[in-house]
Amino acid sequence: MMKRIDAIAIIAEEAESQDALLVGNIGFPSRELCVVHDCTSNFYMLGSMGLASSIGLGLALARPDKRVITLDGDGAVLMNLGSLATIADQHAEDYLLIILDNGCYGSTGCQPTCTSRKADLARIAAGAGVSEVATVSKPEELRLAVRGKGVLVVKVEKGNEKVPVIDLSPEEIIERFMARSAPPSPSS
């Protein structure tokens, strides 16, 4: 199994090669993404646990011409399981939800989530109607799977890297992301 930060580095590299917009989950996943690959195509979540998957889907629906990848955590997805049914129902053509599953609430003290026991988010996504679902745990599997769409569960080790808080205000994060993600202006 990989460390979460190593998985995030692979995902960020693949996202850049696909010219994708990348939405990062609240807490350590966004902080680790910022450290390994800060760029204007990254949107870092602040203060909205459970909503990265919904924000990413909304972005993918608003920009069907762009590849959109969302990094979410198992605990956050468990808080918003309805997003899986909505992802299945809306079937955005070039959207990939990546669930970094470490079996715990990593940003709040590593309390166990239900995925550390019986819950299987890949099976839940498939049951919600998502047609393309995969689970990976190795770097080479991850590199290939990031090219897909639907839902990808990435099994990662527990633990957070010692990374600083993101040195951007919420206003700076949204302004630079909007400048990058906005649709082109129609020509007159």
109-136 pLDDT tens trace = 668 788 888 999 999 999 999 999 999 9
Architecture of the domain delimited by 4-181: 3-Layer(aba) Sandwich (3.40)
Q: Which residue has the higher pLDDT, 142 or 186?
A: 142
Q: Give the mean model confidence (pLDDT) for residues 13-21.
A: 97
- The token pair at 88 is 């299945």
Q: Which strand (E) or helix (H) includes residue 115?
A: none
Has residue 188 got a pLDDT over 60? Answer: no
Is residue 176 within 8 Å of residue 40, measured between CB atoms? Answer: yes
Is residue 60 within 8 Å of residue 13, measured between CB atoms? Answer: no
Question: Among the listed ranges 8-17, 94-103, 175-184, which one has the minimum average pLDDT value?
Answer: 175-184
Q: Give the C-alpha separation, 10 to 36, whole Å.
A: 10
Has residue 22 got a pLDDT over 70? Answer: yes
Domains of the chain, by residue range, sit at: 4-181
Q: Which strand (E) or helix (H) includes residue 77?
A: helix 74-79
Question: What pTM does this model have?
Answer: 0.93
